[in-house]
Structure 1
Amino acid sequence: MVNEDITITRFEDFFHMHYRFLCLVSVQLVGDLDVAKDLVQEFYIDFWKRRQTIQLTSTFQSYAVRAVKNLSVSYLRKQQSNASRNIHLLKDDGFDPMADIESQYEMEALDSKVKTAIDKLPKECKRIFMLHNIDNLSYAQIAERNNISINTVKTQMKRAYAFLRTELSDQSLSWLIISAYLLAN
């Protein structure tokens, strides 16, 4: 049967005649009525879009049941794939909510230590350090903005990093740099 003669009225008849039955078919597979309704609706939308090209070799009902079953099985496979991917990610990441909380506390403590250490820098040294690390200005831009030589900027930056390394000797330098960027937030 070629579907050239499927009008909106005939389509509505198919919908009203088979909708509940197709929902029952789908809900038996997916176990969720809302998902089943969505899948049946998806079938009808696809059917309407392709109505000119679909050639039924059997009844509409048998075609629709087969299509809804296929959509339901595809949905289940996708859900299973997503679930196994999530489990795999949790295993790979070693997800531990307590570790995340501890890590957050550690980051906050480090951030506080870095802020305290930066506050101890001499005024001019601190200003140059902040211009470079927080405002992302180059040494040349800092020198130009403050009417000082690039060598003065370099010297102040060396002094700042040396001071911070001493103050934060128990912290790695990479954490220091990360924390410097955190100060901008």
Structure 2
Amino acid sequence: MDKSNRNLLLEEIMKEYGDELVRLAYSYVKDADIAKDITQNSFVKCYKKLDSFRGDSKIKTWLYRITINECKDHLKSWNHKKVQVLDYIQENTKSQLPSAETTVLKEAKNQQIKNIVLSLPKKYREVIHLYYFESLNIEEVAEVTDLAVNTVKTRLRRAKQRLKIKLEEADVYER
């Protein structure tokens, strides 16, 4: 079958069975947009395999089989499972989410703490960042900075002392 005939045949198939396939897909995935995407994928597969359609069954039956397989593939996909988990988490944490005011205040406080850390001398800021923000252990910090382990420990201790004073002055430190 030449390309123009395939295009015409596909256009007829889409007009005749498009709505039915969307409804079929929707009955599996329960989401209108995803059902439309699946139907579109089904038509793409139909177009690619049109030459190999033997006519053992009706074209409608063949399209249903393609669409059902697409739905099953979607339901087995990692993306679908991830979306389900995220939806579940969102539904069950809505009541536990902080208010917008609380979020803004917390972000402002975090920014103030970051600014105070950034105001430390480089040698202290460096070890604080690597240890707390990059979650490196003392030995790893020593290796990255090319310092002795005891030097890293001393700088961390002194940096924490300076931070405590600056945070108390800024009234950010939680006691």
TM-score by length of 2: 0.54
The C-alpha deviation readout for 1:115-139, integer Å capped at 9, x for no partner, is 44775x6xxxx34212433589859
1:112 maps onto 2:112 in alignment:
yes
| Secondary structure of the corresponding residue to residue 57 of structure 1 | coil
Cα distance in 1 for partners of 2:91, 2:46 equals 41
Is this contact kept in 1: 2:116–2:163, CA < 8 A?
Answer: no
Indicate the structure whose relative CO is greater, using CA pairs within 8 Å and at least 6 residues apart. 1
In the alignment, what sits opposite 1:175? none
Instruction: List runs of 5+ in structure 2 lacking aligned partners.
Output: 132-140
Is this contact kept in 1: 2:23–2:35, CA < 8 A?
Answer: no
Instruction: List runs of 5+ in structure 1 lacking aligned partners.
Output: 1-5, 144-148, 173-185
18-27 vs 81-90, which deviates more? 81-90
Quote how far apart the aligned CAs of 1:40 are.
4.2
In the alignment, what sits opposite 2:160? 161
In the alignment, what sits opposite 1:129? 124
In the alignment, what sits opposite 1:46? 45
In the alignment, what sits opposite 1:180? none
1:67 maps onto 2:65 in alignment:
yes
Paired letter, 1:70: I
> Structure 1 25/71 Cα, relative in aligned 2: closer, same or farther at 3 Å?
farther
Is this contact kept in 2: 1:39–1:68, CA < 8 A?
Answer: no
In the alignment, what sits opposite 2:86? 86
Report sequence identity in percent. 11
Is this contact kept in 2: 1:117–1:168, CA < 8 A?
Answer: no
Aligned residue runs from structure 1 range 2-81, under 5 A: 6-29=1-24, 30=26, 32=32, 36=36, 38-51=37-50, 53-64=52-63, 66-67=64-65, 70=68, 74=72
Cα distance in 1 for partners of 2:144, 2:82 equals 51
Is this contact kept in 1: 2:41–2:70, CA < 8 A?
Answer: no
Matched pairs, number: 155
Cα distance in 2 for partners of 1:90, 1:101 equals 19
| CA RMSD, 1 decimal | 4.7
14-23 vs 52-61, which deviates more? 52-61
Is this contact kept in 2: 1:26–1:69, CA < 8 A?
Answer: yes
Quote how far apart the aligned CAs of 1:20 are.
0.8
